[in-house]
Amino acid sequence: MTYDLFIGDRLFSSWSLRGWLMLEKFNLPHRTHMVGLYSGTMAKEMEPLAPARLVPALRLPEGAVVGESLAMAETLAERHPEAGLWPKDPIARATARWLCAEMVAGFNALRGECPMQLLHAWQGFTPSAENLADVSRIEALWAHARQVSGATSGPLFGTYSLADVFYTPVAARIIGYGLPVSAPNHAYCLELLSDIPVRQWRAMGITIQYDPFPYPQNLTSDVWPVGGTSTASPIDNGPSINTACPYSGDPVTDFLEMDGQCWGFCNAFCRDKTVADPEAWPKFTAMIDAVNDS
């Protein structure tokens, strides 16, 4: 039983990130399909999913299509109660649903002024009063969630849930634009962005180059605070230490150099996503450790 998830460009599509995390974080089998938000092909590529018209969209194993992130979340939670997408406690579960629903319906100033982008940590961004009000409201909701759950740090309800899924792109906006939040909430944002699946999502997004950048700012940019500086670089030729790709097991054809060592991959995408953030890929780091410890 495998789901088909249709997503937009990873660096920018906040709703696609939510849809992917619903499946990835709760170990639900899925295939991803890219829809071109910036290539002009979106309308054509969404036609088979009609009347769904936006990403993400989810095709169920039976063939039915579900649009809209909150509907996807409820559908997956209903179909997989053992996966724990919502908190177990009824009050915590009701509160988590509230937080997700308000995220879907609100925070228009934050969204409009700070489009999600996972490449730049902008310096000197000046938010409007409306934007700051949105951020204040988000902090109030997070505080309420922690009051309900008793969790003083980590996931909002103690155990990772859909509430953390829905607020991960918010964390990217807060960090990416340097928006003012309390020290504990800043730490929570960094924790969400440091999660290995989120780092992998970002690394895969970096494999695509954009010229011009879709959401430019006339500001200086600092290094992205999580996996932002890679020590790896692509190279044209081997030989590599390994003969099989760490992800697929297929013979290597594309190569990177890191710390004076050459490693091989079965295609350019596997290589480039690893170059973007080597530490985001446990199979790659395990391969290095096995070779260097032998």
Residue 56's pLDDT is what? Answer: 98
Residue 59 covered by a domain: yes
Residue 212 covered by a domain: no
| Domain stop point among 83, 100, 119 | 83
| Long-range Cβ pairs for the range 259-266 (8 Å, 24+) | 259/231, 261/288, 262/235, 262/238, 263/287, 263/288, 264/238, 264/239, 264/240
Q: What are the pLDDT digits (tens) for 203-218?
A: 999 999 999 999 999 9
Query: Domain span at residue 63?
Result: 3-83
CATH number of 148's domain: 1.20.1050
CATH number of 48's domain: 3.40.30.10
Residue 211 covered by a domain: no
| Domain stop point among 154, 177, 199 | 199
Residue 281's pLDDT is what? Answer: 98
Residue 7 covered by a domain: yes
Count up the domains in the chain and report the number: 3
Are 71 and 122 contained in the same domain? no
Are 181 and 120 contained in the same domain? yes
Residue 228 has pLDDT above 90, yes or no: no
Residue 226 covered by a domain: no
| DSSP assignments along 48-89, one per residue | GGTT--SS-EEE-TTS-EEESHHHHHHHHHHH-GGG--S-SS
Residue 61's pLDDT is what? Answer: 98
Span 191-213, average pLDDT: 96
Are 103 and 77 contained in the same domain? no
Three-state DSSP class for residue 37 = coil
Are 166 and 126 contained in the same domain? yes
Are 189 and 241 contained in the same domain? no
Q: What are the pLDDT digits (tens) for 138-175?
A: 999 999 999 999 999 999 999 999 999 999 999 999 99
Are 77 and 99 contained in the same domain? no
Q: What are the pLDDT digits (tens) for 43-101?
A: 999 999 999 999 999 999 999 999 999 999 999 999 999 999 999 999 999 999 999 99
Are 172 and 254 contained in the same domain? no
- Per the prediction, the chain carries an average pLDDT of 97
Are 258 and 276 contained in the same domain? yes
Residue 205 covered by a domain: no
| Domain stop point among 26, 54, 83 | 83
Residue 12 covered by a domain: yes
Distance CA 244, CA 250 (A): 5
Q: What pTM does this model have?
A: 0.97
Look-up: residue for tokens 């390994």?
242
Residue 214 covered by a domain: no
Are 122 and 189 contained in the same domain? yes
